[in-house]
């Protein structure tokens, strides 16, 4: 699979990031395991990576081979990231939240040379491997031991699987790194699967590096920065939002196997964390935690929200603690750190995602690809060297999203080299205001037309969530005999909320054709991915034509 672009030369440092970082700052703490309390210097992280690289080579894992891993956040994932880089392999994290059918499909697609699984998920992997319909032999499986209090989910020896600690060589001295170019793949990160089975986005060493550059420069990261990592490491957020950029700067990343808002608050205070990036739901859980008011947040230099619109009430709650929260924007296919807020931005601009980062181009286009002017709503397209390379084994989807001829990605040993095309189609609707700030208006596929008028759900949801009886809200389209489609609000809130009460509240704040005609109140909205609202499930459950109300 690894065939360098003819215009690129291999560099010795491409696979040696942990080694170079250890040489520059050996005694700096790079990683903290919040569950065990263990802290690892960059010198120790490189030694662990060398041992892990030797383990991979003992199993004949080399250039272009894929290593699938199913686990929660733990130090061994960082070891595998640095080690696969050293041997030229590709790390392919898979969500432990997926069903066996979905894991099976991803394993068939990835065709890994090795699978690493955390003990509690052993049964799911065993089931997936038995279901797999791949022509490739079943790969060796190595288990990560259960954490205190976790079920072992069956002993490794009963399955003939080796344990990760028992397999690691004792030798942590430097290893010879693979011959790599920036165009060679290093990460396969799967999409959320909101439009079907997840697709594997191929991220090259160069794209990962450029995203780190964009993040460091545009966000102003520093060597003394400390951050709690609240994204899962099967998600681009777990690697590219902060972990890899912080490692490049020599800062400190704190990980935990499961997110707990109270724990993150205590980590911020105990470790004097300076940077926090999280999805809106997590930021809300932190605000709602009983320790919110008592936690010292004075060490935080900035807080960013990503992965969906952040409600004004949450932005205000952080602002009341003296922290200006801003919103970012990214996707697995590009970045994900594509936008930043200018220095001394106005408080009124927090509803926007800011302006493109230093090495990112952005534009708004209509359905024919024509660029639109300021104030007009169209699809957001991005161009940057930190864009993903393609979808693995999916030429049609690659051409549609990445605007490229994904030649060569036909399976087997094909290298999958791509011809640069430029713009990445995000599928998101956006506009640029008069000051040059970008605003997300929703997913292109979620837009609906009511009586000939376009309705953008996020705009409506922002008004609904201002109601004191509402926590979160999703607006979906349902059939209507008069208007074709009208909005239905599915809200997480108080049972006493009525449709008439909500409509009266919204009058004067939004155009009348945008006000929902139907309402469903639930105790908790379904979530998917890293604490994102599962809009697909909501549409399936509540999207049918409602009965007369």
Q: Which domain CATH number covers 506?
A: 3.30.300.30
pLDDT score, position 422: 82
Q: Where are the beta strands (DSSP E) in 22-78?
A: 29-33, 39-41, 66-70
In a domain, 381, yes or no: no
Residue finishing a domain among 148, 173, 203: 203
Note the pLDDT of residue 543. Answer: 84
| Mean pLDDT of all residues in 411-418 | 40
Query: At residue 528, does pLDDT exceed 60?
Result: yes
In angstroms, the CA 351 to CA 348 distance is 7
Please say if the pLDDT value at position 116 is more than 60. Answer: yes
Is 1 strand, coil or helix? coil
Residue 138 in any domain: the answer is: yes
Q: pLDDT (tens digit, 9 = 90+) per residue, 374-384?
A: 999 999 999 99
The answer on pLDDT for 415 being more than 70 is no
Residues 499-518 have a mean pLDDT of 92
* Final residue belonging to a domain, choices 188, 203, 218: 203
Kindly indicate the confidence band of residue 449, based on its pLDDT and cuts at 50, 70 and 90. confident
Domain assignment of residue 134, yes or no:
yes
336 in any annotated domain: no
**pLDDT over 90 percentage in the chain:** 68
More confident residue, 114 or 191: 114
What is the percent of the chain with per-residue pLDDT over 70, rounded to a whole number? 90
Least confident of 4-13, 139-148, 210-219, 265-274: 4-13
Domain boundary pick from 203, 218, 250: 203
| pLDDT given at position 531 | 63
Is pLDDT above 80 for 331?
Answer: yes
**Interval 211-248: pLDDT, tens:** 999 999 999 999 999 999 999 999 999 999 999 999 99
Q: Give the per-residue pLDDT at 413.
A: 36
150 belongs to a structural domain: yes
Could you tell me the CA-to-CA distances from 147 to 150, 152, 233, 258, 334 in Å, in that order?
Answer: 5, 9, 17, 11, 34
511 or 263: which leads in pLDDT: 263
CA pair distance 478, 488, nearest whole angstrom: 7
pLDDT digits (tens, 9 = 90+) for 246-301: 999 999 999 999 888 899 999 999 999 999 999 888 898 899 999 999 999 999 99
- pLDDT score at 416: 47
Residue 108 lies in a domain: yes
Q: Are strands 325-327 and 90-93 parallel, antiparallel or unpaired?
A: unpaired
Q: Which two tokens stand for residue 483?
A: 């208007």
pLDDT single digits (tens) 363-408? 999 999 999 999 999 999 999 999 999 999 999 999 999 985 444 3
Residue 412: which pLDDT band, with cuts at 50, 70 and 90? very low
pLDDT score recorded for residue 134: 54
Give the CATH number, domain containing residue 126: 3.40.50.12780
Which pLDDT value is given to residue 310?
Answer: 83
Full domain range(s) for residue 100: 1-26+37-203
Rounded Cα gap, residues 535 and 195, in angstroms? 11
Between CA 323 and CA 440 the distance in angstroms is 23
* Mean pLDDT, range 192-204, rounded to an integer: 76
Total tally of structural domains belonging to the chain? 2
Quick one: pLDDT band at residue 417, thresholds 50, 70, 90?
Answer: very low
Per-residue pLDDT tens for 49-105?
999 999 999 999 999 999 999 999 999 999 999 999 999 999 999 999 887 878 888
For residue 316, being part of any structural domain is answered with no
Within a domain: residue 396? no
Tell me what pLDDT residue 475 has.
94
For residue 452, the tally of other CB atoms under 10 A from its CB is: 8
Mean per-residue pLDDT over the chain, rounded: 89
Q: What is the pLDDT of residue 260?
A: 86
Q: How far apart are CA 227 and CA 233, in angstroms?
A: 15
In this structure, the chain runs to a length of 549
């Amino acid at each position: 699979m690894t065939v360098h672009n003819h215009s690129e030369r291999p560099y010795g440092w491409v696979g040696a990031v942990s080694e170079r970082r250890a040489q520059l700052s050996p005694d700096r703490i790079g990683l903290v395991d919040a569950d065990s309390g263990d802290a690892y210097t960059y010198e120790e992280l490189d030694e662990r990576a060398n041992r892990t690289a030797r383990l991979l080579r003992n199993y004949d894992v080399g250039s272009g081979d894929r290593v699938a891993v199913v686990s929660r956040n733990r130090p061994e994932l960082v070891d595998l990231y640095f080690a696969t880089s050293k041997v030229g392999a590709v790390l392919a994290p898979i969500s432990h939240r997926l069903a066996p059918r979905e894991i099976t499909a991803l394993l068939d697609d990835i065709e890994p040379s090795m699978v690493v699984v955390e003990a509690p998920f052993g049964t799911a992997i065993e089931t997936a491997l038995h279901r797999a319909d791949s022509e490739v032999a079943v790969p060796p499986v190595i288990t990560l031991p259960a954490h205190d209090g976790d079920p072992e989910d069956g002993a490794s020896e009963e399955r003939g699987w080796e344990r990760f600690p028992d397999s690691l060589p004792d030798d942590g001295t430097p290893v010879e790194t693979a011959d790599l170019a920036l165009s060679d793949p290093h990460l396969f990160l799967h999409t959320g699967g909101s439009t079907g089975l997840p697709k594997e986005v191929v991220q090259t060493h160069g794209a990962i590096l450029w995203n780190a550059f964009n993040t460091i420069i545009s966000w102003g990261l520093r060597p003394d920065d400390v951050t709690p990592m609240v994204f899962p490491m099967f998600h681009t957020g777990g690697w590219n939002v902060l972990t890899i950029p912080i490692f490049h700067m020599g800062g400190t990343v704190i990980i935990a196997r499961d997110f707990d808002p109270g724990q993150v608050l205590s980590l911020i205070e105990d470790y004097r964390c300076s940077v926090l990036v999280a999805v809106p739901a997590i930021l809300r859980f932190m605000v709602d935690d009983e320790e919110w008011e008592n936690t010292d947040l004075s060490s935080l230099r900035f807080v960013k929200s990503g992965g969906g619109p952040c409600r004004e009430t949450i932005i205000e709650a952080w602002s009341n603690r003296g922290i200006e929260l801003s919103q970012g924007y990214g996707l697995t296919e590009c970045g994900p750190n594509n936008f930043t807020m200018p220095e001394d931005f106005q408080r009124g601009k927090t509803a926007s995602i800011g302006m493109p980062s230093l090495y990112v181009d952005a534009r708004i286009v209509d359905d024919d690809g024509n660029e639109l002017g300021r104030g007009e709503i169209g699809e957001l397209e991005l161009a940057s060297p930190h864009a993903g390379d393609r979808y693995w084994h999916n030429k049609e989807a690659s051409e549609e999203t990445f605007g490229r001829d994904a030649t060569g990605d036909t399976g087997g040993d094909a290298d999958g080299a791509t011809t640069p095309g430029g713009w990445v189609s995000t599928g998101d609707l956006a506009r640029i205001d008069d000051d040059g700030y970008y605003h997300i208006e929703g997913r292109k596929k979620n837009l609906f037309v009511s009586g000939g008028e376009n309705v953008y759900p996020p705009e409506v949801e922002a008004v609904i969530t201002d109601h004191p009886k509402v926590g979160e809200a999703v607006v979906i389209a349902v059939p209507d005999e008069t208007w074709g489609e009208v909005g239905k609000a599915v809200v997480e809130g108080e049972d006493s909320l009525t449709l008439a009460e909500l409509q009266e509240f919204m009058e004067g704040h939004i155009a009348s054709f945008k006000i929902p005609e139907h309402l469903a109140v639930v105790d908790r909205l379904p979530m998917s991915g890293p604490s994102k609202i599962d809009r697909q499930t909501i549409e399936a459950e509540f999207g049918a034509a409602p009965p007369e109300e």
